[in-house]
Copies of this chain bind each other. A is one copy, B any other.
Amino acid sequence: MTQQDFPASPPPTMADVATRAGVALGTVSNVLNAPEKVAEATRARVQRAIDELGFVPNRAARVLAAGTSTTIGFVIVDLANSFFLDMARGAEREAERQGMNVLIGDSDLRIEKQRTYLRLFDEERAAGVLVAPHPDTDEDVDRARARGRRIVVVNGHSGLAGCSVDADNELGGYLAARHLIETGRRRLLFVGSRTGVPALEDRARGARRAVAETNGAVVLSLRETSRVRAEHGREVGRELATVSAGRRPDGIVAASDLLAVGIIEVLLASGVSVPAEVGVVGYDDNRAAWDSALPISTVAQPGTEMGIAATRLLLEELRSPQTHRHRHIVLEPRLVPRESSAPANRHPR
């Protein structure tokens, strides 16, 4: 275990391999890219030279010469949210199946970092790009698309000039609200609505539809929040705790699990019983929200499926650019009932 490294000699090139194997440069290239064009004996000899030299082809040169890459970039708004990680998993699985690689850039909720990675993949001439975008901006994606980059937007905003894959947020909101209604709640509150964020608007709309189906037996109000993290939930929780029980909502649809966590935390601390007095349903089935002492009912998003679908769309577009028509795929979420919305007539724990 000596400290001395091998001298940093430049890595061997194809020319080195060719010399060593006593063949022409093009033959080495063929051994790598079209082995069937090379006689078995030659192939073996070249392969030996490759192994002996530890030759690793230079991808930059390959991309430059061939003008194509096998790398797909995935720009992800927030890897800590397991919904997005599921997408990445799905994308990688599908890409691998089709002989491509996925590299992940984590925007970490920052618009500048999203821009940085979009730009990076653009400069690298990635075959194509998947983006789970920051909610507050389309422009970077639009700009890259205008420059001819192939981009599929996952969980983004519709109406863009390209393929996209989304979850059915209207249905998710509907499922959550209907579940609360079915478990006996009559005064619903949707927390986390925000005009201008289509996903949240859709969820609120779905909740409204479920309420409308009751023909007035159930009422719904909306509460905006600036963001959808736990701290914003706590703020809402504090408000609710001051309301008299008779006027307080008895069913809450939160726009995210973390929001739900915050609300529940404060309610419980204030002596309001969840789910007996107030039922709460979150959104995302975020693993980071499983923190809560009380398991949170939630609407699980089809993350893995979305990643797979997006990758398929992208590869389809890359492989037949002329016949390709942009598509907009919508996948369905799934209600996951847990403790936080258990029926009021049941005694939890």
Contact = CB atoms under 8 A, between A and B. Distances in A.
Interface of A: 1-3, 5-6, 8-9, 11, 54, 56-64, 69, 71, 79-80, 82, 85, 88-89, 92, 96, 101, 103-106, 108, 113, 116-117, 119-120, 122-125, 145-148, 159, 161, 287-295, 321, 325-326
A3 B85 contact: no
Contacts of A124: 59-60
12 contacts: A2-B161, A3-B325, A5-B161, A8-B148, A57-B123, A59-B60, A64-B64, A88-B106, A89-B108, A101-B105, A103-B105, A291-B295
Contacts of A104: 79, 103-106
Given A5-B145, A59-B120, A289-B290, 18 more contacts: A1-B161, A3-B326, A5-B161, A11-B148, A54-B147, A56-B122, A56-B123, A58-B125, A59-B125, A60-B63, A60-B69, A62-B123, A80-B82, A80-B287, A89-B106, A101-B105, A287-B288, A288-B290
A295 B295 CA distance: 12
Contacts of A146: 6, 54
Nearest to A146: B6
A105 B54 CA distance: 23
A325 B61 CA distance: 31
A49 to B, nearest CB: 15
A101 B119 CA distance: 11
Contacts of A117: 101
A261 B207 CA distance: 34
Contacts of A54: 146-147
Contacts of A69: 60
A61 B64 contact: yes
Contacts of A116: 101
| A92, A147, A321 pick with most chain B CB within 10 angstroms | A147
Given A6-B146, A60-B125, A88 B92 contact: no
A89 to B, nearest CB: 7
Contacts of A287: 80, 287-288, 290-291
A82 B290 CA distance: 13
A328 B192 CA distance: 47
Contacts of A57: 123
A123 B59 CA distance: 5
Contacts of A120: 59, 71, 101, 103
Contacts of A61: 60, 64
Contacts of A96: 113
Sorted from nearest, which 7 A-B pairs have the closest CB atoms?
A: A290-B291, A60-B63, A59-B123, A104-B104, A60-B60, A60-B64, A103-B103
A269 to B, nearest CB: 13
A294 B11 CA distance: 54
A8 B321 contact: yes
Nearest to A289: B290
A307 to B, nearest CB: 12
Contacts of A3: 325-326
B325 A5 contact: no
Nearest to A349: B293
Which among A60, A104, A326 has the highest number of chain B CB atoms within 10 Å?
Answer: A60
